[in-house]
Amino acid sequence: MSQNLNIDNFVVMDHPLIQHKLTMIRRKECGTKEFREVVNEISMLMAYEVSRDLPLEEVEIETPICKTVQHQLSGKKVAIIPILRAGLGMVDGILSLIPAAKVGHIGMYRDHETLEPVEYFVKMPSDISERTLFVVDPMLATGGSAIAAIDALIKRGADEHSIRFCCLVSAPEGVRKLHEAHPNVKIIAAALDEHLNEASYIVPGLGDAGDRLFGTK
């Protein structure tokens, strides 16, 4: 799937439903309502891959036919961590499949001149060191925001091996930089695009995800 970057901890979910829905929101005429709805739908579909390696345990049950040993989630706790603002658009889709997950927030924006991430808010569940953490943000461009967000989690006790980063559109530059900084973090994207432009926007991308999601601009 991601052979072209040769990064084993990177998965592109190129399922036809995901590709179709991503094309819908890439169109410049896609309005805020549709953008929000489709980001939610794609995030729900991506929850399958993000949660792929959640631990299972055996449980004995009785079907109408017989007793049997089957599998259930072992109860390893999950937290979804959206990077504000645009990451907020991905929370409900994942929560609809994992409703007991807690939600932590990291406020981070890219300074328009330096392109460096600026942290402005962090509020986490108290036990992030015991949880599997799904960090979500629609865009992985230079990788600066994702790296700073994951640094902030590790500083507060999170285990790098327990962190998954889930985005809609990724750029090769950002995937490489994030993998170099945090090689144990699995990166899951709906698409790997071509490159960054001179303003560090993803090409072809979908524009400014926060503005499109919230109707600011």
Nearer to ligand URA, 91 or 141 (CB): 141
Does residue 208 carry a catalytic annotation?
yes
Q: Is 139 near ligand URA (CB under 6 A)?
A: yes
User: Which residue, 32, 53, 25, 8, is CA-closest to 191?
Assistant: 25
Q: Is 86 near ligand PRP (CB under 6 A)?
A: yes
User: Which residue, 196, 92, 83, 210, is CA-closest to 137?
Assistant: 83
Length of the chain: 217
Q: The tokens of 209 are what?
A: 């995800």
Cα within 13 Å of Cα(132), Cβ side: 19
Question: Which option in ligand PRP, ligand URA, none does residue 151 bind, with CB closer than 5 to 8 A by kind?
Answer: none
Between residue 132 and residue 161, which ones bind ligand PRP under the rule CB under 6 A? 137-146
Measured N-to-C along each axis, helices 172-181 and 144-155 cross at an angle, to the nearest 10 degrees, of 20
Q: Is 141 near ligand URA (CB under 6 A)?
A: yes
The active-site residue out of 36, 110, 164, 212 is 110
Q: What are the catalytic residues? A: 110, 114, 208, 211
Please give the residue ranges that form the binding site for ligand PRP (CB under 6 A): 83-86, 108-110, 117, 137-146, 174, 200, 208-210
